[in-house]
Structure 1
Amino acid sequence: MNQLVDTRAIVTGASRGLGRGVTEAFLAEGASVVAVARDTGPLTELAARDPRLQLVAADASDPAVAARLLRQYSPAVLALVAGAAPVLRPLQQHTWESFSMNWNIDVQITFHWLREALVLPLHRGSRIIVMSSGAAIMGSPLSGGYAGAKATQRFMADYASQEARRGNLEISVSAVLPKLTPATELGRAAAAAYATRMGVPFEDYLRQLGRPVTPEIAGAAFVRLAAGLDAADAYMLSADGLQPLSNPTPGEQRPLPAGVKEER
């Protein structure tokens, strides 16, 4: 307990789902939390009980919001959890607008906040945690561009980590990829869609998924990363906790694959 005493954190997407779990876990460990969400209503009761929780109703995809809040609060921990629920339908039933929604929201949020954190920059020793998705590895054929957007978020976290090292900023950046979970509205809707697609009862599909990632499990994982107890660039998150993943991008010291020429 109290692993984050005297730590200020910003959490985007803080009012519901896994973001709500991260917010509550940070508070439980002693942090002061700036909770950013389009609708902060679900957090008003919690904020009334805990003066360390400050609510900011804002669009996290707005670059001006990222710039203003990072400068105003100078957080030691930045948790990027905000994103859009994908439109659940097969590829041929998507429009480009529905297919690209997560590119225009989730990826844009990650871009603006990571960019501002590096340009500012955040104080040395700061930690940034990007919530991606297990779909970044497994795919998600009913979610349009969601899986690709989540894979890009993981790449962007790694790019930001490389730039922080190159600039000697001493800022750590990690991506967390939670497995599909019915414990959130987004995950439950996706699970129902896949159960229907497979022609199996919803409860049977849930049993196939195994123990779910809950907001509490996500919160505990983010606390470990915020407290510096783990140090990998990316993690899969299951009900058993964090499992480190290999790095997805070539770093400065890694050789190129045979036959691949370096771009000039």
Structure 2
Amino acid sequence: MGSLQGQNVVVIGGSRGVGRSIVEAALGEGATVLAVARGTAALKELSRETSGVKTLAVDATNETAPDAVFAALEPDVLVICAGALAPSAPVQEQSWEDFSANWEMDVKASFLFCKAALQGRLKPGSRVVLISSGAAFSGGPPNSGGYAGAKRMQLFLAGHSQKESDRLGFDLRFMALSPARIMPGTGVGDRGIDGISAYMGISPADFLASMTDMQTPADVARAVVALATGQAQGCSFVVSGSGLAAAA
């Protein structure tokens, strides 16, 4: 029997990359899984290739998104993995739309679903995991716009939401999980690697060669399962190639 047997897991941004790995890991642990994403084509591909997954096409930044998602499947575990591609240009060459892309996607989706949870939409004992980034701690490269700040805000949002849940007696768990290193093979990762390498004037291969202790999407997925099923204390965690740890 899997560690998530009998549990409902909803993954916002679950059609590809890290989100898809989380979907696959949750299915492997016996959960009923709903993958939510904006793109119908990617969801159809996921359905064809992944037996048993449920899918829902919804824009997670729409104010009504939590209503649609919770009507489709009431989660015991809610994972917010939706994220925009970070910009890749010096600050002075970005528009505000470029700079704020991750605030308008990553932060807004996290905010809407945490807000819904704190309005009593999730049953006691439910867990909410926001997928952040190691850039929340390092600050990220100077050509990535508001990405690092947006990912840091997800950490704050998990902490604020936990305090509100405790104050209101809702018995909910809010956690933020930050992959420590950029990940090749994902849309966000590949875009970031190309942008950082170009900014530094080196090849993507040389940039990757400088990285150590890198985690994979599968490592992130295992960390999500561990947080969803364990008794870890705190709201902020980091996963690297060495495994899962509480954030310092």
Indicate how the Cα distance of structure 1 residues 28 and 99 shifts in structure 2: closer, same or farther if over 3 A, else same.
Answer: same
SS of 2:11's equivalent?
strand
Deviation at 1:228, TM superposition (A): 2.3
Deviation at 1:200, TM superposition (A): 2.4
Counterpart amino acid of residue 224 in structure 1: A
Q: Which structure 1 residue ranges, 5 or more long, are not aligned?
A: 247-264
Deviation at 1:180, TM superposition (A): 1.6
Q: Does 2:186 align with 1:184? A: yes
The equivalent residue for 2:168 is: 167
Rounded to whole Å, the distance in 2 between the matches of 1:220 and 1:151 is: 22
Rounded to whole Å, the distance in 2 between the matches of 1:50 and 1:18 is: 15
SS of 2:26's equivalent?
helix
The equivalent residue for 2:33 is: 33
The equivalent residue for 1:195 is: 197
The equivalent residue for 2:101 is: 101
TM-score norm. by structure 2 comes to 0.93
The equivalent residue for 1:10 is: 10
TM-score norm. by structure 1 comes to 0.88
Larger Cα-atom Rg: 1
1:102-121 equivalences under 5 Å are 102-121=102-121
Q: Which structure 2 residue ranges, 5 or more long, are not aligned?
A: none
The count of corresponding residues between Structure 1 and Structure 2 is 246
Deviation at 1:135, TM superposition (A): 0.9
Deviation at 1:19, TM superposition (A): 0.5
SS of 1:177's equivalent?
strand
Deviation at 1:122, TM superposition (A): 1.0
Rounded to whole Å, the distance in 2 between the matches of 1:79 and 1:167 is: 22
Which is worse superposed, 216-225 or 66-75? Answer: 66-75
Rounded to whole Å, the distance in 1 between the matches of 2:184 and 2:48 is: 29
Q: CA RMSD in A?
A: 1.7
Rounded to whole Å, the distance in 1 between the matches of 2:156 and 2:207 is: 30
Deviation at 1:36, TM superposition (A): 0.3
The equivalent residue for 2:67 is: 67
Are the counterparts in 2 of residues 98 and 144 from structure 1 also a CA contact under 8 Å? yes
